[in-house]
A and B are shown apart, each in its own frame.
Chain A
Amino acid sequence: MQASGATAASPAAAPPASEARGAGLRKWAIVKIGLLLLAVVFLPPYFDDRYLTTILISVVFFGILGAIYDLMVGYAGLNNFGFAGVLAIGSYASALCQLNFGTTGWEGLLIGGIAAGAIGLLTGIITLRLRGLYLGLMTFFVGETIRLTISNLPQYTRGTLGLTVAPFENIFGIDFARGADPLNYYYLLLLLGAVIMIFMHWLVRSKAGLVWRALKEDETAARTLRVRATRWKLLNFTIASFLTGVMGSFYAHNLGVLSPLPTEFGVGRTVEVLTVAYVGGRGTLWGSFFAAALLIGIQEYFRGLGAWRLVLFGVLLILVMIFVPKGLARFKRLLL
């Protein structure tokens, strides 16, 4: 009885104190985020280690992809199991235009985005009337169709032999040639990522973000409020696909060779991105970067363990699903 009395009495006095503490926490969080950003930008050249830079590129790359996936699944409840197919469209569109029409890799970023956005729009039009499970199955098969079509048209795409892609052209006197300092690619990726993340951060706090969350929580209720559900979902799907295509184009010119293998542009890749998004925490956007750092960190640290690191990967996903559905974001307080 006494205990409950105390808790009942405290709220009256508590708000100012907790608010002040919240503000203090927030101030600290901003300082810590600032320090983290400084480290991300300035530490890599200090170490100046090609291996480390390559790993950082892959952390940031998967962080961005995870955040894009989260834009769909965490904010609008749309699961795109054909994600890798959309990525493939971006990669191949940019690479093939460069090869056949002489466009630059920089234009390719836009070309890849538009091509993937168009495919996303098309897929969305035919799938978004379907609900839940059917959407998942449909996107799964759309993704596989894209990959298998690429793989069966070797006269254009060189199929599984692999398509060689030229690097980004030098710009502003910065050297992007193959064999140049990977730090240049790292900073390009940071710039791309910053633009994409700020855009998505703004997007989920705009009216669109509000509508998406309403649809995710209760589509029927949202529809009774005259929300045009399919159109808003289509917007989400198309934007996410466009951004995925841009990342696909970056991937193509950074990696230098494309091949429609399941691990590159198939189920395997989708599973990786999905794991990053789910482990990071759905509906957090930024959680993906911590998940990518953790998962890729595990992979690299345990390189000698071979397949065990992937077992760990799967176990982590299972544990997150069962015990920590909010993902790493649940432990935000420990860090910030």
Chain B
Amino acid sequence: MDWSMLADPNILTVLVLQGLVRGAMYALMGIGLSLIFGILGVVNFAHGELFMLGSYVMYLVVGIFGMPFYLGIVAAAGVVFVCGVAIERGLVEQLRRRAGRDWISDSFVLTIGLAVVLQNLAHLAFGSRQYGVAELVAGSVPVGELEISLERLAIFGLACLAVLLLWAFMKFARTGRAIRAAAQNAEAAETLGIDVRNLFTVTFGLGAAFAGVAGALLISIYPASPTVGAEPLLKSFAVVVLGGLGNVSGAIAAGLLLGVLEAFTIFIAADGWQNVLTAYLVILVLLVRPAGLFVLGGKRA
């Protein structure tokens, strides 16, 4: 390893850019998980499988029917939203009616069961083969002496757009504002006439849809296969813990930070070690700042 290479501004720029693209992906993966946890208190272990569903929808729409890729993304969002709604009404709510103090670990175990079911249903439907879609956008742009592919830039742009849409929805839409109210205090929101039960369902659907969009958007990097959700799940967990549980904007910041750190790790050590670094980092943050990196003024845990 030649450390002087890190002093080269060209290499630095490319690494940071690569890191930001990677980070935007992680942020997109983590947002849905964070949203669902923030409102429902469910750590959704099936998040990776919702990601997988999104990538299969993308493959069907773009790879098989030959539609333009943005339609694939919209379809993935819609299909996975409906799945999320069905999961919330059919399973999570059934458990909520019966669960007591151990809600968090019980709901976690419930979603573990769900993840096993979804993963193996995909296996039955599509086999273990990987299905990819050729590049969404061809070509690349020069950055100094090196290049960065337009595909990655498009992913970065679309990920930012999705995050921006969520922000606008939460800020201005009536439902979004109700979700934020319920996140602060569900009982108070209920006394003010907000239908919290429906809100839970919509939020779960929304969080699921984000996982689906991530799966669809990243199909060229993570081709659709039954086990494709494993790595996104790990990254989502990392992002959510680093950003603070249930803190959506924290998750975005943590995603970008993690992406850049990983890009440097791959460059300095070797491919594979970035996953080790992520895990150690999460453990460190849980030890030192369990409320997350981006919470000002102390604990919320």
Contact = CB atoms under 8 A, between A and B. Distances in A.
Contacts of A275: 112-113
Given A137-B237, A321-B110, A308 B124 contact: yes
B237 A141 contact: yes
Contact of B286 (A130, A306, A314, A322): A130
Contacts of A142: 283
A145 B273 CA distance: 11
A321 B290 contact: no
- How large, as a class, is the contact surface on chain A? 35 or more
A134 B106 contact: no
B149 interface: no
A141 B282 CA distance: 7
A322 B283 contact: no
Interface stretch (B19-27, B90-98, B136-144): B90-98
A278 B229 CA distance: 24
Given A149-B276, A314-B115, A318-B91, A136 B286 contact: no
B150 interface: no
Given A152-B272, A318-B113, A132 B279 contact: no
A21 B245 CA distance: 52
A97 interface: no
Contacts of B115: 314
Interface residues of B, number: 41
A151 B272 contact: yes
Contact of A136 (B43, B94, B123, B301): B43
B120 A311 contact: yes
Contacts of B245: 133
Contacts of B104: 132-133, 136
Contact of B120 (A77, A307, A325): A307
B131 interface: no
B286 A134 contact: yes
Contacts of A140: 237
A137 B241 contact: yes
Contact of B110 (A132, A306, A313, A318): A318
A310 B117 CA distance: 7
Contact of A130 (B98, B113, B290): B290
B109 A308 contact: no
A141 to B, nearest CB: 5
Nearest to A278: B109
Given A136-B43, A307-B124, A321 B95 contact: yes
Interface string B115-133: 1110111011000000000
A267 B230 contact: yes
Contact of A137 (B91, B112, B120, B286): B286
A144 interface: yes
Max chain A CB contacts within 10 Å: which of B116, B237, B282? B116
Contact of A318 (B117, B238, B282, B283): B117
Given A152-B276, A315-B113, A322-B91, A308 B237 contact: no
A145 B116 CA distance: 22
A134 to B, nearest CB: 6
Contacts of A308: 120, 124
A133 B291 CA distance: 12
Nearest to A153: B276
A145 B280 contact: yes
A138 B283 CA distance: 6
Interface string A148-184: 1101100000000000000000000000000000000
A316 B109 CA distance: 12
A307 B290 CA distance: 38
Contacts of A99: none
Max chain A CB contacts within 10 Å: which of B110, B273, B283? B283
A307 B126 CA distance: 11
Contact of A314 (B116, B230, B279): B116
B275 interface: yes
Contacts of A138: 283, 286
21 contacts: A79-B105, A130-B290, A138-B283, A141-B241, A141-B282, A141-B286, A142-B283, A144-B234, A144-B275, A148-B275, A148-B276, A148-B279, A151-B272, A274-B112, A307-B123, A308-B124, A311-B116, A316-B113, A321-B95, A322-B98, A325-B106
Given A136-B104, A148-B276, A306-B124, 6 more contacts: A137-B286, A140-B237, A144-B234, A152-B273, A307-B124, A317-B113
